[in-house]
Amino acid sequence: MSSNATTASTTTPASAPPGDAVGRFVEVWQHDDVIAEVATALECDEALALAQLFRAAGMGDVGEQWLITHHEFQDECPRLDRYFDTRLAA
């Protein structure tokens, strides 16, 4: 029985090292067409969370693109307004 459990665990996506999962996520979600399609549908907190994920993965420029694209389509997003005000002041 333990051999079945071992076999099952090595074939499931959940068994991949966390870095591999992040790498796969970043590979798909970094493209401009995905950003343009998805960022406009996100809530502000979701866009900020994605930006933080990309920064943590060493891709701050992609995270910034998520925020810019989201901000262009969201009139009411005080957290992003503050974020961009702070960036412009720096």
Domain that holds residue 64: 17-89
User: Is 2 a member of any domain?
Assistant: no
**∠ CA(8), CA(9), CA(11), 5° rounding?**
70
Residue 26 lies in a domain: yes
Nearest to 48 by CA among 11, 82, 15, 2: 82
State pLDDT tens for residues 57-75.
Answer: 888 898 888 888 888 887 6
What is the identity of the amino acid at 77? C
- Provide the pLDDT confidence category of residue 17 given band limits of 50, 70 and 90: low
Q: Is 67 inside a domain boundary? A: yes
Q: What's the mean per-residue pLDDT of the chain?
A: 74
Q: Is residue 10 part of a domain?
A: no
CA–CA gap between residue 40 and residue 57 (Å, rounded): 22
Instruction: State phi, psi for 38 to the nearest 5 degrees.
Output: -95, -40
Q: How many domains does the chain fold into?
A: 1
Residue 2 vs residue 81, higher pLDDT: 81
